[in-house]
Structure 1
Amino acid sequence: MIITVGNTKGGVGKTTLAVQIAIARALAGREVWLIDGDRQGTAAAAIAARAESDRQPGIACAQYADGSLLRSQVQQQRDKWQDIIIDAGGRDSTALRAALILSDVLLVPFAPRSYDVWALDDMAGLVDEARSMRDGLRCYAVLNQADPGEHSTDNSEAAAAVAEVSQFDYLPTPIRRRKAFSNAGGAGLAVGELAPKDHKAIAEIDQLMESLFNIQKIA
């Protein structure tokens, strides 16, 4: 399974989710390869921090910000891995476009801000282009960095707006703004590996993973 976590809009937490998904799959016993397709290299830095602390399981990680290199490496090595997670975006890049052609699933995180929701139109256009060249790309949008309140108007309005973008299926599993996610990401850890544990953060990631892999039956 190849999953891209991407968005042309920066600052929506795509790297945080990509790292969390990759580690969660590795903890579940899967052979996982995380690809950092962003020139900033934040995902690669997180996995380097994990390796330095000798945390197990280790996560294989490579950085390919160039689309042609990303495409060729994935095509050559895809059969070695059960799951490939690609962190791509922050802008319309060759790496993001290559990832969309290669992926089985696209997960687009967005924040409950109007300009983040509007930016999904750009991603919708890229999805249309990718689907014109290949069949079977499944696309999901998830509310990330959501307001902590259970009844946030901003959260509900953003979710309603995204539900109207036909290219995406909206996942009703919001990831809220929690310090645990930034702490875990910086250390290359899953939120469940942090001590003390933030059980709400763990539950949110678990619900997202269930939506991606169990309910949709794409594992």
Structure 2
Amino acid sequence: MIITVGNTKGGVGKTTIALNLAIARALAGKDVWVVDGDRQGTAQTALTIRAESGRTPMVACSVYSDGATLRSQVQQQKDKYDDIVIDAGGRDSTALRAALALSDLLVVPFSPRSLDVWALADISNLIAEARSMRDGLRAVAILNNADTQGSDNKEAVEALADYPELEFLDIAVCRRKAIANAAGQGLAIKELAPKDQKAIAEVESLYNRVFASI
């Protein structure tokens, strides 16, 4: 299964989501390959820290920020893995476009902020373009860096109606320091000590919904 976590808007937490999905999948006994399609290489840095700390299971990771390279490498190696998680985006790039052409599922994290919601128009256009060239791409949006209270979450979700290319998964992962701290150490949230049970519950709900949706 090839899953891309992407958005043309930066700062929405796509790398954190990609890491949590990939590591949780590896903890479930799957052979997982993370493809970092972002030229900043943040996912690779996190997984290098994980490997150097001796944490198991180790998760394979490669960086391909060029779309042609990403496409050819994934096509050549996809049968070696149970799941491939591609971290792509932050801008409209050749890597993101290549990832959309290869993926079974696109997960689009977005934050409950006006600029983030408006930016969904760009990724929606890319999804429509990818679907015009191949069938089978499912695209779901998840609320990330959500507020723990207030009306912004609800208003952001309601605004998704303007983007029919995206299906909303009824998931909200709140802005929690523990989630960021875990990712910075190359850990899934459930591996971090001390435990943040609310953060764990939110991310596990995300994991279950994403893989149940495929």
AA partner of residue 24 (structure 2):
A
CA drift of 1:164 comes to 3.7
The aligned runs of 1:173-188 (5 Å cut-off) are 173-188=171-186
Report if aligned partners of 1:9, 1:90 keep a CA contact under 8 Å in 2. Answer: yes
Deviations along 1:59-104, whole A, 9 cap, x unmatched?
Answer: 0000000000000000000000110000000000000000000000
**1:86 aligned counterpart, secondary structure:** strand
TM-score of the superposition, structure 2-length normalised?
Answer: 0.99
Contact 1:104 1:138 in 2 (8 A): yes
Q: How many angstroms apart in 2 are the aligned matches of 1:45 and 1:16?
A: 12
The one-letter code matched in structure 1 to 2:142 is V
CA–CA separation in structure 2 for the residues paired with 1:108 and 1:176 = 15
Q: Which secondary structure does the structure 2 equivalent of 1:106 belong to?
A: strand
TM-score for the superposition, normalised by structure 1: 0.96
- Verify the 8 A CA contact 1:163 1:169 in the aligned structure 2: no
What is residue 157 of structure 1 aligned with on the other side? 155
Identical columns (%)? 64
Alpha-carbon distance between aligned partners in 1 of 2:35 and 2:16, rounded to the nearest angstrom: 13
Distance 2:198 2:115 in 1: 27
For 1:203 and 1:142, how far apart are their aligned partners in 2? Answer: 15
Q: Does 1:199 align with 2:193?
A: no
**CA–CA separation in structure 1 for the residues paired with 2:160 and 2:56:** 37
Partner residue in 2 for 1:115:
115
Question: Which structure 2 residue ranges, 5 or more long, are not aligned?
Answer: none
Measure the CA separation in 1 of the matches of 2:102 and 2:8: 17
2:164 corresponds in structure 1 to 166
Matches for 1:136-155 after TM superposition, within 5 Å: 136-149=136-149, 152-155=150-153
Aligned residues: 214
In 2, distance between residues paired with 1:118 and 1:194? 34
Aligned residues: CA RMSD: 0.7
Aligned to 1:124: 124
Which amino acid in structure 1 is aligned with residue 31 of structure 2? E
Q: 1:88: which partner in 2?
A: 88
SS in 1 for 2:119: helix
Q: Which amino acid aligns with 1:19?
A: L
SS of the residue 1:34 aligns to: strand
The Cα shift of 1:51 comes to 0.3
Q: Distance in 1 between matches of 2:57 and 2:44?
A: 16
Mapped to 1, the partners of 2:191 and 2:210 lie a distance apart of: 21
The structural deviation recorded for 1:153 is 0.5
Q: Which amino acid aligns with 2:120?
A: L
Please tell me the residue identity of whatever aligns with 1:7.
N
